[in-house]
Chains A and B, each alone.
Chain A
Amino acid sequence: MTEVQTSPAAAPAAAGPSPRTGTQRAARVKEAATGWLFALPFTVLLVAFLLLPMAYAFKISLYRSTLIEGEVFAWFDNYKQAIDDPLVREGVVRVLIFGLLQTPVMIGIALIAALLIDAATSRFSRFFRLAAFVPYAVPVVIGTLMWGFLYSDSIGPFAWTGIDFTSSDTVLASLGNIVTWQWAGYNMIVLYAALQGLPRDVYESARIDGASEVQIALRIKTPMISSALVLATLFTIMGTLQFFTEPLILQPLNPGAITQHYTPNVYAYNQAFSFQQYNYSAAISFLLGAVVFIGSYIFLFATRKRSALR
């Protein structure tokens, strides 16, 4: 545990064999109290807005209420039902496919863009940096609605292609495009900031050794910002598993292709707010939360050497 190694008490203990005195202990208690005091505002917010709602959601996920019989305690019936529900599974599989395809594409675009801006030092690069960031500043709902119009086969600018962007064959890619459009710029800024933090003299020595700009970008810059890459990928994975707003907004365009169980989140939303199945919805949400937690943890564990979140 890193806390133990870096705690202030560890330093004098390692420095010499001096026995702990009462004053030292009092100082430590005082320090700990100060530490807790600093953490207090965060703790209060965490409890009030995350842990308590989570506990409440967990509680209602253990009940089952029906329109006729009212509410009964049902243990883990809702969870059993969710695990067996083919519609939940369909959504999970879809989200996994989506994540596997979309994450590398988006991180790849963000990385290339970041490397390009980092290499260029013209006024244009500053403009491009801002322009690439703009989609992130647009609320997801607005961005999705805008793409809905762009995909239109009567007024959209791509209508001439004859492609139906909201058919069941194409809609996943269309949604992926919206997500990439929205988030690639944000990830690019994260990676670009990491690039800015690198010591410039490394490039100088690489150039003296005869490395080309491409070689510098791929063999020096990219490995050196790997922790930022891991972070961006992690956020993308978490975002993907919670895929919700885009399919919900585009659903009216083709409810046959974007079903009400399109992603587990959309399904949970509809269970609660369309079918009054609050308990089942809570169970699905909780399961999904567990999957996000485990998925993120596995990814962090697998990349722990490069992760910035050690």
Chain B
Amino acid sequence: MAAIAATATAVTLAACGSGDDDKAATAAKPTGTVTVKVWAWYPEFKAVVDQFNATHTDVKIEWTNAGTGQDQYTKLQTALKAGKGAPDVVMLELQEIPTFALTKHLVDLGKYGANAVKGDYAGWAWDQVSSGEQVYALPVDAGPMAMMYREDIFKKYNLTVPTTWDEYKAQAEKLKAASGGKSFMTDFGANDGGFMTGLFWQAGAKPYTYDIANPGAIGVNVNSAEAKKVFEYWEGMVNTGLADTTAFHTTDFYNGLGSEKYATYLAAGWGPGYIQANAGGAAGKWRVAPLPQWTAGANAQGDWGGSSFAVTDQAQYPDIAAKVAMEIFGAKNSEAWKIGIDKAFLFPTVTPVLESDAFTGKTYDFFGGQKVNEVFVPAYNGVGDLDWSPFNSYNFNQLTTNLGQAIEKKTSWTAALDTAQENIKTYATQQGFKVQ
């Protein structure tokens, strides 16, 4: 910890020298053990905190589980608006970073040396949390997508593992005929904006053009040709009975994963942990293959989910909070990563951990002993860039509401995208953005 304190001081001095950081310059010198409050929601985080506290003497993490996803964001928004009650370090999903950065409540970690660890991350992952030299959060885990499939069902009906979306559809038709409509090729949960965006991402759609450094302007292109291509494909799959539309994260969905209802599950890097926890009955039957491609032989990928650690403007010692955010799941903290990978099923964004044998060579009994990360790691490396809007709740709401209603009323999915585009443009204009 002496090293951290020394670096922190050095950084503080450097910041004073450049004269562009009032906060660091005026921050009081800490005396004694500094307590850094952290909000994160996975239960297994406790072990990581214990390990951190056991190895540090002058900084201590005080961990709170303030709820998952939107629950935590609601509390955080309220605390930030109130001016007190927010943690020093907070877990944010990647798509939420512009939302919190816009209100200027996130500390620029670039001023505390975060750019030094840029090389530890894939380019796209770093772009998710930064704008030029400004760094709003440190990536922790990501959700590169892949196709999980039931080997037993594939064998039973003589299906081959598809590599393109055309093949995927052909196998789906074969499955429907052979199983008498009992099994669906997959479930397309219309209640998850992150899932849809992951598929758009793979198809090369860029729903938003947005730079946190220029917060007043935004390009909205939610109904792009690429996004429409994805929706047309899935509308066909759903309307011909090849894909189900049960909402994700519901009991019926978990049952479908555990029974023979779904032959595949288009999952993310955190999927192995998720599926083991929710469909334990199908242990040993699932396998993982790369996400089918739009063009044969391509390596286009998309991301669904992932989280980061950001420092709020309520941190008393932003330099120390920044160090904690960088160190908890940093490239060198292999102890924490061991817990994160084995217990919390995090998909690491730091390259040294990601490419370590411990991770790529890890076998999963649930997947019949398969080394599933051999699929997920190339997927992670193949993800392209994507900007999120600074109003992602509204974005996801528009996607899920309009698609949900299109499915209910059997109306066009692409028209649902057009509606979303119009509503989002109106909302953005009302919020004062210059919309392109």
- Across the interface, name the chain A residue whose C-beta is closest to B217: A68
A83 to chain B, nearest CB (A): 16
Contact at A254–B404, with CB atoms within 8 Å? yes
A255's partner among B251, B393, B404, B433 (CB-CB below 8 A) is B404
CB contact list, A248-304 vs B, under 8 A: 252-257, 259-260, 270, 273-276
Does chain A have a CB within 8 A of B409? Answer: yes
Could you say which residues of chain B place their CB within 8 Å of the CB of A125?
A: none
Could you say which residues of chain B place their CB within 8 Å of the CB of A153?
A: 252
B408's partner among A68, A257, A260 (CB-CB below 8 A) is A257
Q: Bound state CA distance, A149 and B251, in angstroms? A: 8
Could you say which residues of chain B place their CB within 8 Å of the CB of A255?
A: 190-191, 247, 400-401, 404
B394's partner among A257, A259, A275 (CB-CB below 8 A) is A275
Number of interface residues of A (CB under 8 A): 25
Contact at B391–A67, with CB atoms within 8 Å? yes
B413 to chain A, nearest CB (A): 12
B430's partner among A66, A152, A167, A259 (CB-CB below 8 A) is A66
Q: Bound state CA distance, A276 and B76, in angstroms? A: 12
Contact at B401–A259, with CB atoms within 8 Å? yes
A-contact bits for B248-290, CB 8 A (1 contact / 0 none): 0111100110010100000000000000000000000000000
Q: Bound state CA distance, A274 and B73, in angstroms? A: 9
Specify the main secondary structure of chain B where it touches its partner.
helix
Could you say which residues of chain A place their CB within 8 Å of the CB of B247?
A: 252-255
Contact at B252–A66, with CB atoms within 8 Å? no
- Across the interface, name the chain B residue whose C-beta is closest to A67: B431
CB contact list, B395-436 vs A, under 8 A: 397, 400-401, 403-409, 427, 430-433
Contact at A154–B408, with CB atoms within 8 Å? no
A274 to chain B, nearest CB (A): 4
Could you say which residues of chain A place their CB within 8 Å of the CB of B390?
A: 67
Number of interface residues of B (CB under 8 A): 37
Q: Bound state CA distance, A155 and B251, in angstroms? A: 8
B193 to chain A, nearest CB (A): 10
Q: Bound state CA distance, A44 and B255, in angstroms? A: 53
Contact at B252–A154, with CB atoms within 8 Å? yes
Q: Bound state CA distance, A228 and B432, in angstroms? A: 53
Q: Bound state CA distance, A69 and B434, in angstroms? A: 11
Additional A-B contacts beyond A67-B390, A255-B401 (4; CB < 8 A): A67-B433, A256-B401, A276-B77, A276-B391
Q: Which A-B residue pairs are the 5 nearest by beta carbons? A: A256-B404, A68-B432, A154-B255, A66-B432, A274-B393
Does chain B have a CB within 8 A of A168? Answer: yes
Contact at B216–A68, with CB atoms within 8 Å? yes
B69 to chain A, nearest CB (A): 11
Does chain A have a CB within 8 A of B74? Answer: yes
- Across the interface, name the chain B residue whose C-beta is closest to A153: B252
Could you say which residues of chain A place their CB within 8 Å of the CB of B249?
A: 252
Could you say which residues of chain B place their CB within 8 Å of the CB of A69?
A: 432
B164 to chain A, nearest CB (A): 29
Q: Bound state CA distance, A257 and B407, in angstroms? A: 9
Contact at B405–A256, with CB atoms within 8 Å? yes
Could you say which residues of chain B place their CB within 8 Å of the CB of A149?
A: 251
- Across the interface, name the chain A residue whose C-beta is closest to B253: A154
Q: Bound state CA distance, A94 and B386, in angstroms? A: 39
- Chain A residues proximal to chain B, CB less than 8 Å: 66-69, 148-149, 152-155, 167-168, 252-257, 259-260, 270, 273-276
- Across the interface, name the chain B residue whose C-beta is closest to A259: B401
Does chain A have a CB within 8 A of B333? Answer: no
- Chain B residues proximal to chain A, CB less than 8 Å: 70, 74, 77, 102-103, 190-191, 215-216, 247, 249-252, 255-256, 259, 261, 390-391, 393-394, 397, 400-401, 403-409, 427, 430-433
- Across the interface, name the chain B residue whose C-beta is closest to A171: B408
- Across the interface, name the chain A residue whose C-beta is closest to B103: A67
Beyond A257-B408, A275-B394, whether A154 also contacts B251 by CB under 8 A is yes
Q: Bound state CA distance, A107 and B394, in angstroms? A: 39
Interface centre among A168, A254, A255, A275, by most chain B C-beta atoms within 10 angstroms, is: A255
Contact at A270–B391, with CB atoms within 8 Å? no
Q: Bound state CA distance, A223 and B48, in angstroms? A: 68
Contact at B401–A152, with CB atoms within 8 Å? no
24 residue pairs A–B, Cβ–Cβ below 8 Å = A67-B102, A67-B103, A67-B390, A67-B391, A67-B432, A68-B215, A68-B431, A68-B432, A69-B432, A152-B255, A154-B259, A252-B191, A252-B249, A253-B247, A254-B191, A255-B191, A255-B247, A256-B400, A256-B404, A256-B406, A274-B70, A274-B394, A274-B397, A275-B394
Could you say which residues of chain B place their CB within 8 Å of the CB of A254?
A: 191, 247, 404, 408
Interface centre among A67, A69, A260, by most chain B C-beta atoms within 10 angstroms, is: A67
Contact at B408–A168, with CB atoms within 8 Å? yes
- Across the interface, name the chain B residue whose C-beta is closest to A257: B408
B74's partner among A259, A260, A273 (CB-CB below 8 A) is A273
Contact at B252–A275, with CB atoms within 8 Å? no
Contact at B255–A270, with CB atoms within 8 Å? no
B393 to chain A, nearest CB (A): 4
B4 to chain A, nearest CB (A): 35
A154's partner among B70, B216, B256, B391 (CB-CB below 8 A) is B256
Q: Bound state CA distance, A256 and B261, in angstroms? A: 22
B249 to chain A, nearest CB (A): 7
Q: Bound state CA distance, A7 and B190, in angstroms? A: 64
Q: Bound state CA distance, A69 and B429, in angstroms? A: 11
Could you say which residues of chain A place their CB within 8 Å of the CB of B103?
A: 67
Q: Bound state CA distance, A167 and B404, in angstroms? A: 11
A72 to chain B, nearest CB (A): 10
Could you say which residues of chain B place their CB within 8 Å of the CB of A276?
A: 77, 391
Contact at A252–B250, with CB atoms within 8 Å? yes
- Across the interface, name the chain A residue whose C-beta is closest to B77: A276
Could you say which residues of chain B place their CB within 8 Å of the CB of A155?
A: 251-252, 255
A70 to chain B, nearest CB (A): 9
- Across the interface, name the chain B residue whose C-beta is closest to A68: B432
Could you say which residues of chain A place their CB within 8 Å of the CB of B256?
A: 154
Contact at B391–A275, with CB atoms within 8 Å? yes
- Across the interface, name the chain A residue whose C-beta is closest to B70: A274
Q: Bound state CA distance, A67 and B256, in angstroms? A: 41
Contact at A168–B401, with CB atoms within 8 Å? no
- Across the interface, name the chain B residue whose C-beta is closest to A169: B408
Contact at A257–B251, with CB atoms within 8 Å? no
Contact at A152–B251, with CB atoms within 8 Å? yes
Q: Bound state CA distance, A256 and B188, in angstroms? A: 13
Contact at A68–B433, with CB atoms within 8 Å? yes
- Across the interface, name the chain B residue whose C-beta is closest to A276: B77
Q: Bound state CA distance, A259 and B287, in angstroms? A: 35
B171 to chain A, nearest CB (A): 24
